[in-house]
Structure 1
Amino acid sequence: MNERPQILTLNLTDKSNSILVEKGFNLYQGSLGKLVDTKNEKHKFKYHLLNNDFPANAHEYDIVIVDFSNEETIDYVKSDNQREKNKTENNSYLICKYPQTIFDPRGLSSHAFIREIREILKKECLIIVFQNENVDIEYKIVEENGDRPISKGSQEANFYEFIPNFYFQQNKFGKETKVIPNNGELTTFLEKFNKDFNYENTFFHPTIWENEEKVPDPKFYPIIQNLNNEIISYIYLTDKVGVFIFPVLEDNSLFLLGFLETIAPSLQPNLFPYSTQNKWTENIEYALPNQERLIEEKKKIEQDFKKSIETKNKEIISNNDKYSFLHKILTETGDELVSAVIQFLEWLGFENIIDMDTQTEGIKEEDIQIETDKGLLVIEVKGIGGTSKDSECSQISKIKYRRAKEREKFDVYGLYIVNHQRHIPAKKRENPPFTKEQKQDSINEERGLLTTWTLFNLYFDIQKDIITKEEARQIIYNYGLITFIPQNIKLIDTIKEIFLKGEVFILNIDGIKLKTGDTLYIEKNKKFQKLTIIEIKLDDKIVTEISNGEAGIKGTIKVSKNSKVWIKNLP
C-alpha cells in the first residue's frame, strides 16, 4: 500500500472501495451516514442519531471522494439510536415522524463535516463528488421523553454544504450527455464512460472581475454538457485545490480507478509521488531509440482511423436518407406515409404515379393513381393505430367503380394499403390484420388488401432474388389478401428428415427432374429462401441428377423439418 495520497471515501460502494484497496490506495472507508428505513406507521415516530463515520484525523487526508448517488438503505435498529454512554447532559435526538418513513442523515452530516473540509482545503488536495439531486433537508430536534418528545426546534441542511466552489444552477435529470472536446487525455478518458452517464444537476459558469468587467472564471473548466449545452459536470482548479463534480454512474468503480491512476496524477502530481516520481523520463529529451518515429506513426494511424470513421458515418447517413422510406412505411401516417409508399412503388418499377394530393381539380378520394398497360390502379393508403374496419377496407371499391364509370372501361384495379398498429414493432403486430370476412369480401368485390409490413419484406425478398420486381408488379393487381411468393413454382416434397443440423435433407421425388446446381425454394412459415443443390445421393451413391426415388440433398443453406421444397417450372 502506498502511504500517499491518503484518501477518505464517503458513501462509496463496497465494490469501489475494494477495487481501490486492491490497487494499493491508502483508504479510510468513511460515511456521511446511510439512509434508514424507519417503517413508521400512523401516529408513530422514531428517535435517531447520526450514523456517520469520519476518521479522527480527517483534516490530514489529501483526497476526499463523495458519492451522493449511493443511497444504500438500512433498517432501523433501536439500539443503534440510543446513547448508552453519555459524557454530557445532552439528551437531544433527531425525530422521524409518520408519514416520513426514510431518515436521511447525510445533510446534517455534511454540515458537521464543514470544519474538517476547511482544514483539508488549507493544503494541496482533491475533492471528488458524484452528484445527486440537490435538496435541503429539515431535521426536527427533540429531547428524548418517552412517547412525548420535547421539541427543541429544527435545522435545515444540504448534502453539498461542505463542497467548495459549488456552482449549482438547478435540479435537472437526464441521460444524454456529451463530453466537451479539447481537454486532451481527460476528454479521451471521459468518452469511454459517456454512454453510461446520467445527471441530476446543471451548473453555471462563475465569473470574476477583471479590468472592471466580469469575465468567465479561468479556474472553472466545464467538461460534460447535456444536449442543450448546459453544464452537467466540471472541474475547478487552483494552484492547490482541485474540485471535480462528476455525473452519476451506476457502477463508478472502474471510472474512479482509472481517474486516480491516469488523470489525477497529471493534475496534482504532488499528491501522487509514487505515480509521478519517474514521469520526467517521458519528456522528449529522454526519448528512447525509435520512440519519436513510433509515436508519429501512431498519431498517423489515429488520424487515418478518425477520417475513415467520419467517411463511414457519412455513408451511413446517406444510406439512411436513401432508404428511409422503408422505415416510414412502417411508422408514418397521412401525407408522410403516402409519400413513402409512392417511393416504394417507384423503386418497384411503376411509372406515371400520381399523388392525388398534388392535383388541384376535383374531390380527392384515392391517395394514389397509376396508369399502366393493364389499366388504372387506384390506391388508398392508411396509417392507423389499430386494425381496419370493414368500411375502411371496402372504401376503395366505391372509388374503383366511380373511376371505371368515368373511363367507360372496366380496366380499373382497386388496392387498399394499410400501415396497421403502427405504434407497435412490426413483428409484434397482428399479421395479417384482416378478418376472414374482410378477405372474402375483397375477393368478391375484386379489390386487393395489402399491408406495408408485406411491402417491407418484399423489398428484401427481391434483393435475395426470391421474386422479381416484374413478378411483384403483376401480383399487385390480384384480388383478396396480397402476398408475394415466387411465381411459376412446383411443389416437390415436404422435408421430414434432416441430417448434419439441416445441411442435408431427404426428398421423395416423383417425376420431377433435379440436378446438381439447380435452385430450390424452401418455404417455412410462409417465408421463402433460395437453396442451390451442391450434391445429390441416391442409395448412398453420388449422382448428378434424379427424377424418382428417395434422395439425400446437400444444399447451400441449412433447412428445418416440415419445410416445403419447391422448384421453378421449366418454360
Structure 2
Amino acid sequence: MPPNQVEQPSRLHEEGWSLARIGKRLEVSADTTRLRLIERGVQARPRGLQAQTIESRCRVSCRGFTFLPMWKRRAQPVTSADTSNTIATRSTHSDKQDDFAPKYPHPKILVIDSPDVASVLKQRGYATSASSFGQPVSVPKSSSYLPLAMSDDLPDDYTEQEIVIVDLTGPALKRATEDSFEQPPQGVPAIWTPTVTGVIDPRPINMERTSDAMNRIHEHGGIFIVFAGARFEPGCFISEKNSFGELREPLGNRELRGLSNWSLLTETSKLRIKNDSGREIQPTSACNEIGISSFLETGRFECIVEPSPWNNDYKWVTLATNKYGASVGGLLYPAQEEGKSGLIFILPQIKRRADLVVELVEVVLPTLVPRLFPHAERSFWVQRPAYELPQIMTVKDEITRIEEAARLRIRGLEEQIAASRDQYGFLHELITATGDNLVKAVIQALTTLGFTDVRDVDAEAEASGATGPRREDVRIMDAAVPVLVEIKGIAGTPKEASSLQVAKYIAPRMREWRTHNIRGMAIVNHQRHLPGLDREHEHVFQEDVVTNAEEQDLSLLTAWDLFRLTRNFIMHSWRHEDIAPLFVTSGRVHPVPAHYEPIGHIDGHWPKASVVGLRLSQPLAVGDRVAYELPVDFIEEDVTSLQLDNQPVGTASAGDYVGTKTTLTKDQVRNGVQVYKIKR
C-alpha cells in the first residue's frame, strides 16, 4: 500500500468500515490493511463489527455460555472521540432516512434475506428495513473446521419491529475468498464450523444470537411471515487452538446442537421439519378462507412442516399440503384467545412472493390484527374485548370453553393412539422389517394369537452359551405339534431354497427330541420395500415350491398374511382355536380362520339400496352371520334379509343368486370378493 493511501484506510476505519471492505476498496488484502493501521497506531477491529458496537458485541453468548472473542482481549476502550464520531455517523444516516419518511410509520416491517419483498413494501409506503442474517459461502469440502464470523446486517432498531418477514433459504451461495475467514489467536475461544458439506452458513448462529429479541417481538403481538426452507444444521461448536495450532475438544462440551436455519424463534425451532421438495401444492380450506390460495399455484416447497404434538400453547392450522397430504405450510396462533403472542405464518417458496406479502399486509393482517395498522383500523377497534357487546363476549367465551374441551378430548385420543402404537407397533414391523426385528415381530404376533410357548432359538442359544450350526429362528412348542419356524425378510419374491430351508432342521430335531411329530413353517416378508397392497399375493411362492411343501408337510406363510391374520384376530376377537389349525397346515397358508366356511362370492352391487348380489356355493339363511374378505380386513355382519328373484325368502340354497342388505361401501365392494359363513 503506497504511503499516500494510508490516511484513507484510517479514515474509513473510523467511520466503521470493516478491514475486508477497506481492502476491497484499495485493492489490497485485509491483513495488509490491518498491518498498515497498526503501524499508524490504530487498533484494528474484528471483521463485521461497527465501531460503535465493539463494547456491546465483544461478549458473545450462545445457549447460556459466555466467552470473550479474540478481539476483546486486544481491543482498546472506545474513546469519547470514537463515540462522538459514531453518533455523528448515525445522525447522518437518520437524517437521510427522514428525507424518505414512509407514508405508514406503522407497522414497522423488517424483511430479512428477501430484498424483492422489501423493495415492493417500501414503494407502497411502508416503514420497511431490508437486512440479512449473513451470507453463506462455498468452500472446498474437507474434514477441517473454519472459524465462523458472527456478523449480520440487521438495523439498530430491529428489536422494535412489528412484522418480520424471513426467507429461510437465505441469500444465494457465494464463493469464499481468502479474506472470508480470520483465524483467532491461540487460546482465544471462537465458534468453529465443519467444512464437510462445502458450505459455511452464518445464519443459524446469528438467528440464535437474535432469538431473544425475536421472541420478545412475537410474545408482544408481532407477526412473523416465514418462507420455509430445507433444514440446515451447521454443527458448530465452541473451542480454541492449543499451542500447536490444533483445536481442543469443544469447551465444556459446548457443541451448539440443534442450531439451524429454523432457530429464528422458539416456536419455529419446535416445529418438526422433514426435508422434501416438490411443486404440487394444494391449498386447504383454511387457506381459501384467508384468501391467499391463488398465490400457491406457482411455487415450490423444500420441506414438510408439522407442529410438535406437545406444544399446548399454540395451535396449528395447515394452509397447504403436498400431493400426499403432508403439510408444507401453516399458521401458528396462541391457543388461548387472551394470549398476547402474535401469529406465525409458515409458507412454502412462492413465485409471486412479493404480491403475497402485499396481500397479507394490506388485506389479511389489518383484519386479523387491526392494532398494528392504525391507518386501516377504522371501526375495527370496537371489536376489541374492552368494547365488544356483552352478549357477543358471552358467545366467544362459550366458543373458548368448547375449544378447550375439544383440545383436551383430542389430547386424550392422541394418547390412546400412542398407547395403541406401543402395544401393536409390531404389526408394522411384520410387513417392513427383516433380521432380528422381523423375528421379534413374528414372536409378538404369535403371542397375540394365543400361543404361550414361543421360543426365540437364537436368543436361547446366546443366553446358554451354546455353540454349533445355526438352526430355525423360532419354535412354537404349544401348537398341535411342535413347529419349527424359519423367518426371512427379502426385497423380492422367495426362491425354492429359502422357502424350504426349514426342512433341513426337522430331522436333527427329531433325533434330538426322539419324536417324529414335528412340523416346519417358513414365514417370508416378501417385497418388503413395497406397500402391502402393491405386492404380489397370488403367486408369491413358485408352484413347485408349494407342491414340495405339501408333500413334506411344510407350511408357507407370508408376513403380509400373518399381519392380516393378527389384525383381524384383534379386530373381531377371534379365539385361539379359530386360528391354531392354520399353523399345522401343509402348503400355502391363507389367513382364513377355521370357523369361516366359504359359501360363495359377490356378483353385483346396488349402492343406493345397500344391496349386494351373492352367488352361493352353500346354503344361507336370514339370521346367519357372514364375513366378506376385503384386501386387508374381513368385514363381519348379520344377514337381515334375502331376496331370490325379487322375492323375500328366509333361506337360499347352493347355486342360488340372492340379494342381501349390506353395510359395505361402493369402494369396498368388488365382484369376486369371497364370502364366508361364520360358524359358532
Distance 1:475 1:133, change over 3 A: same
Distance 1:350 1:65, change over 3 A: same
The answer as to 2:538 corresponding to 1:424 is no
The answer as to 2:221 corresponding to 1:168 is no
Distance 1:562 1:541 in 2: 24
Number of residue pairs aligned between Structure 1 and Structure 2:
419
- 5+ residue gaps, structure 2, are 1-102, 134-152, 181-200, 208-213, 236-262, 274-302, 304-342
Partner residue in 1 for 2:648:
542
Distance 1:513 1:333 in 2: 44
The answer as to 2:582 corresponding to 1:483 is no
Partner residue in 2 for 1:314:
415
Map 1:497-508 to 2 at 5 A. Answer: 497-500=604-607, 503-506=610-613
Contact kept, 8 Å, 2:620 with 2:651, in 1: the verdict is yes
**RMSD of aligned residue pairs (Cα, Å):** 5.3
Partner residue in 1 for 2:492:
386
CA apart distance, 1:376: 1.5
Q: Show CA shifts across 1:218-272 (max 9, x none).
A: xx97355446999x9xxxxxxxxxxx99876234566764466676899996863
Distance 1:497 1:226, change over 3 A: closer
Distance 1:482 1:466, change over 3 A: farther
CA apart distance, 1:458: 1.0
Contact kept, 8 Å, 1:535 with 1:542, in 2: the verdict is yes
Distance 2:119 2:425 in 1: 56
Contact kept, 8 Å, 2:564 with 2:633, in 1: the verdict is no
Q: Show CA shifts across 1:320-371 (max 9, x none).
A: 1011010111222222221111111011000122112134135352221222
The answer as to 2:477 corresponding to 1:442 is no
Q: Show CA shifts across 1:443-494 (max 9, x none).
A: 2222111111111111233345496532321111112121122436655555
Partner residue in 2 for 1:413:
519
Partner residue in 2 for 1:336:
437
Greater relative CO, 1 or 2 (CA 8 Å, sep 6+): 1
> Percent of aligned positions with the same letter in both sequences?
22
The answer as to 2:374 corresponding to 1:272 is yes
Q: Of Structure 1 and Structure 2, which has the larger fraction of its residues in strand? A: 1
Contact kept, 8 Å, 1:63 with 1:125, in 2: the verdict is no
1:133 is matched by which residue type in structure 2? Answer: G
Counterpart among 170, 183, 187 of residue 133 in structure 1: 170
1:452 is matched by which residue type in structure 2? Answer: A
Contact kept, 8 Å, 2:488 with 2:525, in 1: the verdict is yes
Distance 1:322 1:549, change over 3 A: closer
Map 1:4-19 to 2 at 5 A. Answer: 4=104
The answer as to 2:127 corresponding to 1:62 is yes
Distance 2:594 2:410 in 1: 43
Contact kept, 8 Å, 1:520 with 1:531, in 2: the verdict is yes
Distance 1:375 1:271, change over 3 A: closer
The answer as to 2:551 corresponding to 1:452 is no
Contact kept, 8 Å, 2:168 with 2:229, in 1: the verdict is no
Distance 1:386 1:171, change over 3 A: farther
Instruction: Give the TM-score, by structure 1 length.
Output: 0.58
Q: Show CA shifts across 1:66-107 (max 9, x none).
A: 999xxxxxxxxxxxxxxxxxxxxxxxxxxxxxxxxxxxxxxx
CA apart distance, 1:516: 1.4
2:349 is matched by which residue type in structure 1? Answer: E
1:289 is matched by which residue type in structure 2? Answer: P
Distance 1:186 1:279, change over 3 A: same
1:477 is matched by which residue type in structure 2? Answer: V
Matched position secondary structure for 2:561: helix
Matched position secondary structure for 1:274: coil
Distance 1:373 1:125 in 2: 71
Q: Show CA shifts across 1:142-168 (max 9, x none).
A: xxxxxxxxxxxxxx9xxxxxxxxx983
Distance 1:186 1:63 in 2: 18
2:544 is matched by which residue type in structure 1? Answer: E
Distance 1:127 1:349 in 2: 60
Distance 1:247 1:319, change over 3 A: closer
Contact kept, 8 Å, 2:565 with 2:591, in 1: the verdict is yes
2:381 is matched by which residue type in structure 1? Answer: K
Partner residue in 1 for 2:244:
none
The answer as to 2:579 corresponding to 1:472 is yes
Partner residue in 2 for 1:103:
none
Distance 1:557 1:366 in 2: 44
Q: Show CA shifts across 1:475-520 (max 9, x none).
A: 111121211224366555555555456843555668x543212223
Contact kept, 8 Å, 1:522 with 1:566, in 2: the verdict is yes
Matched position secondary structure for 2:390: coil
Distance 1:362 1:319, change over 3 A: same
The answer as to 2:593 corresponding to 1:556 is no
Distance 1:390 1:226, change over 3 A: farther
Partner residue in 2 for 1:369:
475
Counterpart among 448, 452, 456 of residue 351 in structure 1: 452
Partner residue in 1 for 2:622:
516
Partner residue in 2 for 1:397:
503
1:249 is matched by which residue type in structure 2? Answer: P
2:496 is matched by which residue type in structure 1? Answer: D
Partner residue in 2 for 1:250:
349
Distance 1:203 1:61, change over 3 A: farther
Contact kept, 8 Å, 1:466 with 1:529, in 2: the verdict is no
Contact kept, 8 Å, 2:167 with 2:229, in 1: the verdict is no
Counterpart among 172, 192, 197 of residue 228 in structure 2: 197
Contact kept, 8 Å, 2:455 with 2:476, in 1: the verdict is yes
Q: Show CA shifts across 1:183-214 (max 9, x none).
A: 45859x76xx98x833577899xxxxxxxxxx
Q: Show CA shifts across 1:366-404 (max 9, x none).
A: 221222263221112222333334332222111111111
Contact kept, 8 Å, 2:430 with 2:525, in 1: the verdict is yes
Q: Show CA shifts across 1:271-329 (max 9, x none).
A: 63222676387363x45435665555444444433333332222221111011010111
Distance 1:394 1:537, change over 3 A: closer
Contact kept, 8 Å, 1:523 with 1:529, in 2: the verdict is yes
Q: Show CA shifts across 1:13-58 (max 9, x none).
A: 9xx99xxxxxxxxx9959xxxxxxxxxxxxxxxxxxxxxxx96xx9
Instruction: Give the TM-score, by structure 2 length.
Output: 0.50
